[in-house]
Amino acid sequence: MNKDIFVVIEHRQERIADVSYELLTKGYQIAEKLGGEVIAVLLADDGDQMAQSLKSYADKVLYIKNEIFKNLHSEYYCDALSSIIGERKPALILFGHTVDSFEVAPALAEQLGIPIISNCVDFDIDGDFVRATVPLYGGKINGEYSFNAENGGIISVIPGAFKVENPQKSGEIEKIEFTFEKEYDDKEFIEFIEAAAGEIDITQAEKIVAIGRGVKDEENIDMIKDFADSIGAVLACSRPIVDAGWLPKERQVGSSGKTVKPKLYIALGISGAFQHISGIKSDTIIAVNKDPNAPIFKVAHYGIVDDMFKVIPALKAKIEEMK
Amino acid sequence: MHKLLIKNELLGCIQCGRCSAGCPVSLRTALSPRKLIYKNLRESRKLPKSQDIWSCTTCRTCQQRCPKGVSVMDYIIGLRSYQVERGKIEPTMRDALESILKHGNPWGRPREKRTQWIDDETDVRILSEGEETDVLLYVGCTPAYDPEIQKSARALAKILNDADVDFAIIGNDESCCGNEVKRMGELGLFEMLVEENTALFKKYKFNTMITISPHCYNTFKNEYALDFEVLHYTQFLKKLLDEGKLQISASIDKKVVFHDPCFLGKQNDEYDAPRELLKYLLTDEDNLLEFGRNRERSLCCEGGGGRMWLEVESESPRNAEIRIDDAKSIGAEIVATSCPFCQLTLNDAVKTTKSEDKIRVVDICSLIAENKFEETEMEE
Ligand SMILES: Cc1cc2nc3c(=O)[nH]c(=O)nc-3n(C[C@H](O)[C@H](O)[C@H](O)COP(=O)(O)OP(=O)(O)OC[C@H]3O[C@@H](n4cnc5c(N)ncnc54)[C@H](O)[C@@H]3O)c2cc1C
Ligand code: SF4
Ligand code: SF4
């Protein structure tokens, strides 16, 4: 079996998808076992900056440059990847299981004549074999699949399956100006359409500042909104705030509101009723509450027991200072 | 004519309007069972596409009041099931149903954590396949997972232990009873749960099942074909009292009013057991007050029919808020109930009506446990 792990980086509008970082992190666990390296494979046109931001996550960034890679075109992707992979023969090639890779990964496997398991939530190596866990029947049961990876293989993993950790590497960037022998004119990229910016969709927010009855008065909301803006967060709330008519229903988090999955959730003056917290799927919850016995502290990763009206200005000042 | 209309006797309707007049949500939403029936019979015999049916709490008031035996509520549930079949369901309800399918509970919580409510001070036996017990305590999803309602589960376990009842639970293999599933109109999933649960219960030997929630009680008792006795915990505790196995001393000298849960009262005619239990707790029986709308006329708290996962648009106050205001106006200090959903809706209403210093909402089993075991967790 070969040793290196290739992670094919997914990006759109010059932004790298989270799943790519997740795969790089997982890649290290596997590479360690194999004694190999993790290599981020970036197919891009204007990719210098993206390559830079990948450096600390990989032993090497293989930046394959061509104008065509500005947008996803699966045929060109496959041709470039199969040529590079054919040359360098990594142990495994990892993709996010996303609409982008649906088009590329299986075709690539076919082109290279190597095995693939798609839609995985986990995988590991076991001698010459790769074993992967794949949810079936809408996640009701998991299937275990494996293939012989002597000649390499492809795994595509559902976003969110692994946590991201920065290994603090400083991988070199190898830039390859790629040229194509074959042209494909049956498919053409027309336009990138941004999702309509309508009412704020809190389910898509990366940072949320949520308020509860602790905010006391409608007048105090402006100040919290300022604080949220200052850290680029979206304002959300518990149900009583909607009941009072202080924020619209779209902002309600909970079992009868929205389920949110931000990276950071700051709960201000929220007691943490089950109906509220069952709508929070976040890696980092910070709670500010006067009452040390408030149930929110049972789910929070960090807690501040104090008056939110003292904490917010202090926090805001500190954040300004750090900017 | 659609079979749903025939099955539910819609043609018998004389448009008297008793159903709508009694409907607790027609007070605050556009739902009017009578109008729905009128439209369905006069204007079009196709099933109405109205979204109003989703505000129904399946309290059964309409069906109970109809002089012509029209199965109004069943008809509404039937309408829901047609919408569900076509994929028309609110995302929050869909999520709850999906979670039941995947994890056996509507709260999106992992199955492995179903017994997490049991703390160090609670002694509960978990049955292994083939094992025997006299009483099977069916915990139910909300008492198993909601930290507020877990207190009721622990309180009940303590009381049962104290009364030397031979009881046990199923543990992490326990699954949702499906009462709300059926009422949200997901009849396929409900049938699956009935099958799976019936098979699960066969793995153990027991004589009586008791439930914490009247919702579980209702479906096990009326919608499953089980070969053992099913009781709500208030009925079981009352029996223990009568048999002298449970002692309760009068200790509460506050004014208490009992809120009849729809699924215990209206749907199963049990009005007395909870009141009897409360009388034992009160130093003065006269302190047991009654709501103007009580027993079969009890105002639904809007926690049933899947409404735990669906908010309805309305300018008017929630019924739970009306209930709390009513309680205050008759001078009650404690609103006792015996249903997890009622507890949650009423407790929330205590907050939104800013009545925290006037009214306490509490489950009867927590009251009994507080009474029996002085330093309890319930007082916190
Ligand atoms: C059917 C049903 C569905 C529900 N669905 C939802 C839902 O989707 N989403 C939801 O959120 N709720 C929902 N609820 C309501 C839920 O049960 C709780 O009542 C609600 O979440 C409580 O909101 P809260 O935390 O803002 O208020 P409270 O519980 O009153 O908490 C306020 C908190 O603020 C703290 N506080 C007060 N002043 C300060 C201060 N100056 N500084 C810091 N802290 C302070 C207090 O200590 C307290 O902990 C639902 C309820 C029911 C019955
Ligand atoms: S079951 Fe209750 S809420 Fe539903 S229509 Fe009938 S009376 Fe109204
Ligand atoms: S109570 Fe019965 S008869 Fe009267 S309007 Fe309603 S369904 Fe018709």
Do residue B121 and residue B218 come from a single domain? yes
* Distance (Å, whole) CA B179 – CA B114: 18
* Distance (Å, whole) CA B93 – CA B81: 13
Six-digit token pair at A9?
Answer: 């980086």
Tell me which of B27, B52, B85 is where a domain ends. Answer: B85
Per residue, what are the HEC states of B16-55? CCHHHHHCCCCCCCCCCHHHHHHHHHHHCCCCCCCCHHHH
For A202-322, give the CATH class.
alpha beta
* Distance (Å, whole) CA A54 – CA A47: 10
Asked whether the beta carbons of residue B107 and residue A255 sit closer than 8 angstroms, the reply is: yes
Asked whether the beta carbons of residue B146 and residue A256 sit closer than 8 angstroms, the reply is: no
Task: Express the helix, strand and coil content of chain A in percent, nearest 5 each.
Answer: 35, 30, 35
Mutate to test the pocket of ligand 3, among B4, B9, B19, B38 (most ligand atoms within 8 A of CB): B19
The lowest-confidence range among A173-187, B40-54, B358-372 is B40-54
Q: Is B378's pLDDT higher than 90?
A: no
pLDDT at A167: 86
Residue among B117, B146, B346 with most chain A CBs within 10 A, to mutate: B146
Closest C-alpha to B260, from B67, B32, B59: B59
Q: In this complex, which of B108, B311, B351 lies closest to A278 when CB atoms are compared? A: B108
The tens digit of pLDDT for each residue in A155-202 reads 999 988 898 888 898 889 999 999 998 888 888 888 887 765 556 788
- Phi-psi group of A255: left, alpha or beta (phi > 0 → left; psi -120 to 50 → alpha; rest → beta): alpha
Is residue B155, in this structure, part of any structural domain at all?
yes
Is residue B249, in this structure, part of any structural domain at all?
no
Q: In this complex, which of B102, B309, B313 lies closest to A255 when CB atoms are compared? A: B309
* Cα B186–Cα B191–Cα B196 angle in degrees, nearest 5: 125
Is residue B236, in this structure, part of any structural domain at all?
yes
Do residue B115 and residue B62 come from a single domain? no
DSSP per residue over B196-246, as a string? Answer: HHHHHHTTSB-SEEEESSHHHHHHHHHTS--SSEEEEHHHHHHHHHHTT--
A277's CB contacts (< 8 A; 6+ apart) are A254, A295, A296, A299
Residue B135 near residue B210, CB atoms below 8 Å: yes
The tens digit of pLDDT for each residue in A201-253 reads 888 899 999 999 999 999 999 999 999 999 999 999 999 999 889 999 999 99
Asked whether the beta carbons of residue A255 and residue B380 sit closer than 8 angstroms, the reply is: no
Cα distance from B7 to chain A (closest Cα, Å)? 32
Per cent of chain B over pLDDT 70 is 98
Is residue B250, in this structure, part of any structural domain at all?
no
The lowest-confidence range among A9-18, B72-81, B153-162 is A9-18
Six-digit token pair at B9?
Answer: 């006797």
Tell me which of B58, B85, B112 is where a domain ends. Answer: B85
Residues of A in contact with B150 (CB under 8 A): none
Do residue B339 and residue B286 come from a single domain? yes
B23 CA → ligand 2 middle, Å: 5
* Distance (Å, whole) CA B306 – CA B329: 30
Do residue B145 and residue B215 come from a single domain? yes
Is A5-177 a domain of CATH 3.40.50.10260? no
Interface residue ranges in chain B relative to chain A, Cβ cutoff 8 Å: 92, 95-96, 98, 101-102, 107-109, 145-149, 308-311, 313, 318, 344, 348, 351-352, 380
* Average pLDDT of the segment spanning B175-192: 97
Mean pLDDT of chain A: 92
Do residue B71 and residue B130 come from a single domain? no
Do residue B238 and residue B363 come from a single domain? no
Task: Express the helix, strand and coil content of chain B in percent, nearest 5 each.
Answer: 50, 10, 45
* Distance (Å, whole) CA A217 – CA A87: 66
Q: Which residues line ligand 2 (CB under 6 A)?
A: B 22-25, 33, 56-62, 72-73, 76
Q: Ligand 3 within 6 A of B239 CB?
A: no
Q: Is B377's pLDDT higher than 50?
A: no
* Average pLDDT of the segment spanning B10-39: 93
Asked whether the beta carbons of residue A274 and residue B308 sit closer than 8 angstroms, the reply is: no
Q: Report the predicted TM-score, pTM, of the whole model to 2 decimal places.
A: 0.72
* Distance (Å, whole) CA A214 – CA B368: 32
Do residue B261 and residue B182 come from a single domain? no
Per cent of chain A over pLDDT 70 is 98
Asked whether the beta carbons of residue A243 and residue B310 sit closer than 8 angstroms, the reply is: no
Residue B220 near residue B208, CB atoms below 8 Å: no
Closest C-alpha to A75, from A190, A193, A189: A189
pLDDT at A2: 75
Do residue B157 and residue B109 come from a single domain? yes
* Average pLDDT of the segment spanning B243-259: 94
Residue B136 near residue B208, CB atoms below 8 Å: yes
Q: How many CA atoms lie within 13 A of B39 on its CB side?
A: 11
Asked whether the beta carbons of residue A295 and residue B147 sit closer than 8 angstroms, the reply is: yes
Phi/psi at A235 (nearest 5 deg)?
-85, 130
Q: How many CB pairs under 8 A join A and B?
A: 51
Closest C-alpha to A25, from A159, A213, A206: A159
Q: In this complex, which of B108, B149, B311 lies closest to A256 when CB atoms are compared? A: B311
Q: Is B280's pLDDT higher than 70?
A: yes
Ligand with the closest atom to the CA of B65: 3
pLDDT at B77: 97
* Average pLDDT of the segment spanning A255-279: 94
pLDDT at B1: 66
Residues of A in contact with B344 (CB under 8 A): 275
Do residue B113 and residue B214 come from a single domain? yes
The lowest-confidence range among A86-95, A180-189, A273-282, B227-236 is A180-189
* Topology agreement, domain A5-177 and domain A202-322: yes
Nearest CA in chain A to B106: A255
The tens digit of pLDDT for each residue in B105-150 reads 999 999 999 999 999 999 999 999 999 999 999 999 999 999 999 9
Q: Is B379's pLDDT higher than 60?
A: no
Per cent of chain B over pLDDT 90 is 88
Closest C-alpha to B92, from A158, A273, A260, A206: A260
Cα distance from A173 to chain B (closest Cα, Å)? 43
* Cα A214–Cα A220–Cα A226 angle in degrees, nearest 5: 110
DSSP per residue over A277-320, as a string? Answer: HTTB--SEEEEEES-TT-THHHH-SEEEES-HHHHHHHHHHHHH
Is residue B231, in this structure, part of any structural domain at all?
yes
Do residue B294 and residue B367 come from a single domain? yes
- CATH for B8: 1.10.1060.10
Q: What is the count of structural domains for chain B?
A: 3
Ligand with the closest atom to the CA of A276: 1
Ligand with the closest atom to the CA of B263: 2
Mean pLDDT of chain B: 94
Domain ranges of chain A: 5-177, 202-322
> Residue B231 belongs to what domain range?
104-242
Q: Which amino acid residue places its CA nearest to atom 3 of ligand 3?
A: B13
- CATH for B323: 3.40.50
Asked whether the beta carbons of residue B146 and residue A259 sit closer than 8 angstroms, the reply is: no
Do residue B262 and residue B188 come from a single domain? no
Per residue, what are the HEC states of A212-271? CHHHCCHHHHHHHHHHHHHCCCEEEECHHHHHCCCCCHHHEECCCCECECCCEEEEECCC
Do residue B81 and residue B110 come from a single domain? no
Closest C-alpha to A178, from A82, A315, A253, A248: A82
